[in-house]
Amino acid sequence: MNVKQRTIKSEISVSGVGLHTGQPVTMTFKPAAENHGYKFKRIDLPESPVVDADVDNVTDTSRGTTISQNGASISTVEHVLAGLVGLEVDNVLMELDGPEIPIMDGSALMFIEALEKVGFKEQDADREYYNIPSNIHYSEPDRKVEIVAMPLDDYRFTCMIDYNSQVLGSQHAAITTISEFKKEIASCRTFCFLHELEMLLENNLIKGGDLNNAIVVVDKKVTPEELKHLAVLFNRDDIDVAQEGILNNIKLRHQNEPARHKLLDMIGDLALVGVPLKGHIMAARPGHAANIAFAKKIKAQIKKEKSKKHVQVYDPNATPVYDTVEVMNILPHRPPMLMIDKIIELTKTHVVGVKNVTMNEPFFVGHFPDAPVMPGVLQIEAMAQTGGILVLNTVPDPENYLTYLLKIENARFKDKVLPGDTIIFRCDLMAPIRRGIAQMRGIGMVGDRIVVEAELMALISRVEDKKEA
């Protein structure tokens, strides 16, 4: 049974401050139509530009994930996107009156709680997953980052972090299905090391940080004076280092909360692929930059597969509509200029022809004989002859007609054609034939690869017309 898309029942708002900008911001979740996906709208800017939650729109990953489009940017999108994925919500519009998602408590929990207040609405359209077809790898050897997506009929995550820190050490986190996100991952807050905190403060960042929305790992000896200074900065009476090696501002919700938060970040970043995924994601030492690079790799794979779906794979051994002899009864060409062996499909608007490329082709004698490649111009000629069958099929006596190539446009040669290849040519009419002029779009395929494509214009003319001319 197909799973349906869903959105929220009504709008709801949350308010807070941006972690790095410190600016107050209100974000309003609004129901959205089927196939809308996740979009952000900056209502504080002229014309309220919309930013699609798309990995191609990522412009910064230094301290979170920032996306930009139409002159607008949205920062720190990963936590709210993780919450939407965890709730399996497909379509939402998020309106903001500022440049950054409110940090809330540093996790996805408060977003989830808000959305659950209004509830969810099932929609008519089916949810279209991308099922990881085979292992997809990503690595950064210098940073020891390893990420792999493996086929699985669910959405499973395994994450390991290792900061070479005596305090934090090596940690693992995992969920076996996305339905575990709310209970196991959503409440896990962002974290940083004390030395990073000091650097961020010195660079006028984390203006919205107040030690209620982050775990601070103390990875060095800290003097009482330094603790007093931090207490003043964050408007605290006092700050100390807890036994676990973190500032005592907050208590850990899970022993491995940092690893769980890294898993949360990954789910949010991978939401930018644009479709719900099915697969097992395993990651070692991930970060926003690696997550986004990996997301782009998955999206590229999706695009590649979609382009292949538009290419129909034909059986070259199918019973022909016209065999070689019948092709010669229609076309005036003869070997070595007859470039089509048979026609395997023919309608009023398209035709499919077959060319078996053998080492015995006469052009291989002079065209790179030590590294034979079929000349591109002859691929276009074979395509034109295939199209000639289509246009000549529109007259009752094709043997009395000739076709003349008038124009070639947008020709592209995408791969080599070698001895032993079988090229399948398909030509489709781009418009009805008028006054003997046919416009066709043609492609040549070897297996499921498009090797050549072009737009052709041809003139069909009676043999008597040629003689009179």
pLDDT confidence tier of residue 398, bands split at 50, 70 and 90:
confident
Residue 409 bridge partners (DSSP)? 455
Better-predicted residue by pLDDT, 313 or 115: 115
State how far the Cα of 450 lies from the Cα of 412, in Å rounded to an integer: 10
Tokens of 168: 């934090």
By C-alpha distance, which of 430, 383, 425, 426 is closest to 403?
383
pLDDT of residue 247: 73
What digits encode the pLDDT tens for the residues 303-348? 888 766 567 888 989 999 999 999 999 999 999 999 999 999 999 9
- Residue 237 has a pLDDT of 65
Q: Has residue 455 got a pLDDT over 70?
A: yes
Specify the pLDDT at position 244: 59
Q: Report the C-alpha gap between 188 and 87 in whole angstroms.
A: 16
Q: What angle do CA 283, 289, 294 make, to 5 degrees?
A: 50
How far is residue 181's CA from residue 226's CA, in Å, rounded to a whole number?
A: 37
Structure tokens at 374: 């079929």
Using DSSP's 3-state secondary structure scheme, residue 207 falls into coil
What is the percent of the chain with per-residue pLDDT over 90, rounded to a whole number?
Answer: 72
Is residue 246 scored above 90 in pLDDT?
A: no
Domain coordinates in residue numbering, the chain: 4-184+261-303, 191-252, 324-468
> pLDDT per residue over 24-42, tens digit each?
999 999 999 999 999 999 9
* Whole-number Cα distances in Å, 60 to 88, 165, 340: 26, 27, 53
Interval 429-454 mean pLDDT: 91
pLDDT higher than threshold 50 for residue 466: no
Q: Find out if CATH 3.10.129.10 is the number for domain 324-468.
A: yes
For the segment 380-393, the average pLDDT, to the nearest whole number, is 95
pLDDT confidence of residue 468: 39
The C-alpha atoms of residue 455 and residue 446 are separated, in whole angstroms, by: 19
Q: And the tokens for 79? A: 């936590």
With 0.75 as the threshold, say if the pTM is over it. no
Q: Across the chain, what does the average pLDDT equal?
A: 90
* Protein fold of 4-184+261-303: Ribosomal Protein S5; domain 2 (3.30.230)
Tokens in use for 417? 């054609």
Instruction: Check pLDDT > 70 for residue 241.
Output: no
Q: Which residues contact 220 (CB under 8 A, 6 or more apart)?
A: 194, 195
Which residues does 89 contact at the CB level (< 8 Å), separation at least 6? 6, 7, 8, 115, 120
Distance in angstroms (rounded) separating the CA atoms of residues 90 and 31: 10
Q: Give residue 308's pLDDT.
A: 65
**Residues that are catalytic:** 288, 367
pLDDT digits (tens, 9 = 90+) for 172-209: 999 999 999 999 999 999 887 776 666 666 665 555 45
- Assess whether pLDDT exceeds 80 at residue 164: no
pLDDT higher than threshold 60 for residue 465: no
CB 419 within 8 A of CB 359: yes
Res 312: pLDDT: 80
